[in-house]
Structure 1
Amino acid sequence: MDQPRLQALAADLEQWLARLASADAQVADLRGALEPLLALAASGALTAPLPWGDIPGGRYFTEGGLRQYPELELAFARFRIEATGGESPALRKLRGEP
């Protein structure tokens, strides 16, 4: 787990959440659900990869209306990937990276 990358991704996600939460109740709910995890990541206390399902919020994009915020969805996806151990070799290969 790349701590500096995780901290940067947590900060980016928090910025998007803060920017949009006052205008959208679902974003505010997502922010509340992620707040403890984002705090752990920001402080460097998140040192072991989490299981994918232990990161709350995916349903806000798949079942809720947050797909209307592609920047927020991308920030969430990047954070979630890093918090679960980072990009796998298969994902890097899929992207055409060495």
Structure 2
Amino acid sequence: MLILLALIAGAVAGMAIHFAMPHRSDRGVVLAPAIGAATAGVLYTSLQWAGFAEDNPWLWAVSIVVPVAVAYLATLLLTRARGKRDAAERTRLGIA
């Protein structure tokens, strides 16, 4: 049940990242929160399987800090890739 806390923390961090980063219109509003929540869920589950108990601070530190970094980097890279692809497509179509 405590995995929900990690999932919510990842989604909230992703939402904050979405609104803090520029070019919001170039990506969906769910992209960063989904990446944060998925990363938090995978990490929490993996650490639980590795033997970390729910009262272990490393489980919570990793489940909260790493999804923030992953969501930020993934959102940054995906936004840049989208911008480049859109610019190439506009050039190909002769729009800009």
> What TM-score does the superposition give when structure 2 sets the normalisation length?
0.33
- Greater C-alpha Rg: 2
Q: Which has the higher contact order (CA 8 A, sep 6+)?
A: 1
> What TM-score does the superposition give when structure 1 sets the normalisation length?
0.32
Between Structure 1 and Structure 2, which shows a larger proportion of helix residues?
Answer: 2
